[in-house]
Amino acid sequence: MRKRLSHLTPISRRQRLHISEAKMFGSLLLISAFFAQDQPVIVEGQRPAVEKKVCRTERSTGSRVVKQVCKTEAERLREQRDAKTMLGMGNRSNRPPDAFKPSKGD
């Protein structure tokens, strides 16, 4: 069954012009993006050294399953630094430990 579209207002000539302009602008952007890919990229200077990945076998705490994890040295150092930071943040609490709190009965 077809729905009736009588509740919609008709598009004016000015709105049709704006729609066609938007279509032409979109087509122009698409064409320019296509042709921009053909231009060569020239890079001067040295290429960055490709870091070699080092593979190690690791076992998760509480697991017998061993996994092989391959990471670059930079990734390993970053993870190590993040782990130390997280450990340090865990000890920085404004609340005193329960052992140093006064008892409520006194």
What pLDDT is stored for residue 19 in this prediction?
87
Answer whether residue 106 shows pLDDT above 60.
Answer: no
What pLDDT is stored for residue 87 in this prediction?
78
Please tell me which residue, 22 or 3, carries the higher pLDDT value.
22
Decide if 71 is inside a domain: yes
Decide if 73 is inside a domain: yes
Decide if 78 is inside a domain: yes
For the whole prediction, is pTM greater than 0.85?
A: no
Decide if 79 is inside a domain: yes
Structure-block tokens of residue 78 = 């970053």
What pLDDT is stored for residue 39 in this prediction?
63
Burial of residue 71 (CB within 10 Å: 0-12, 13-18, 19+) is middle
Give the pLDDT confidence of 39-70 residue by residue, as tens digits.
666 777 877 777 899 999 988 888 889 999 99
- Which residue type, as a one-letter code, is found at position 49? A
* 3 φ/ψ angles, rounded to the nearest 5 degrees: -85, 145
User: How many structural domains does the chain have?
Assistant: 1
Answer whether residue 27 shows pLDDT above 60.
Answer: yes
Q: How far is the C-alpha of 59 from the C-alpha of 76, rounded, in Å?
A: 16
The domain containing residue 70 runs over which residues? 53-90
